[in-house]
Structure 1
């Protein structure tokens, strides 16, 4: 079941943080970087976020989290992670379908590491197209993808 998470709540923020940490450790290994910036996010960062968090909850356990922000029908996906214990269950696909169809959005944007092929395949499956490649100060080459609903 997909539900909006009350990320300002300490307990919920800790649960979100735990899922983010587990998933981002796998991604850091995939990219070959121990100093992966998302791993430095804190519970306080999550509690203070202006964005919204939605979780895929299975047996009272948060199996996956998507962090989004919607401004004037434009969706920005700040993060999408699945707890490694729940990989290969189609949960990320369900979260993508949810955010693209549940809200009145006409466009969307997401960024991921250029070498994160599983994420890139997921986004392309949902109609995202490559927009830009760039390398921020942390040195991890990234890919920006855009989505337009017609």
Structure 2
């Protein structure tokens, strides 16, 4: 089941934080880096975020989270994380499809590390295409991917 998460509640922000930490530690290892900016995000940061959070629940357990924002008709996938206990179950795809159906968009955007092959494969399967590669100040090469509403079926 997918439902909206109220990140302004401390207990919910803590649950989001815990999944972010577990998932991003694995992503940092995959990328092969010691400093991974998403790991620096605090419970207070999540609690104060102006983005929308949705959780995927397996029975009563929060298994995955998608964080989004909308600006005009552009849907931005800010984060998509799955608890390691729930990897390889298609949950990330379900969350991605959910937000793309729930939020009418002209374009959807996502960014990930250029070496994050599992994430890139997920987005490509959903029709996203790479539109930009760059290396920000933190030194981790990133790729931006995009899909228009007309390309989304």
User: Normalised by the shorter chain, which TM-score bucket?
Assistant: over 0.9
> Are 2:60 and 1:60 aligned?
yes
> Are 2:132 and 1:139 aligned?
no
**Hey, which bits of structure 1, 4+ residues long, moved more than 3 A?**
none
Structure 2: stretches of 5+ with no match in the other structure: none
Q: How far 1:59 moved relative to its partner?
A: 2.2
DSSP 3-state at the match of 1:23: helix
The residue number in structure 2 matching 1:92 is 92
Deviations 1:92-118 (A, max 9, x none): 010011011111112111000000000
Matches within 5 A, 1:1-150: 1-150=1-150
Deviations 1:41-87 (A, max 9, x none): 00000011010000101122110000000121210011000000000
Coordinate RMSD, CA, aligned: 0.7
Q: How far 1:36 moved relative to its partner?
A: 0.5
TM-score (ref. length: structure 1):
0.98
Structure 1: stretches of 5+ with no match in the other structure: none
CA distance in 2, matches of 1:43, 1:125: 32
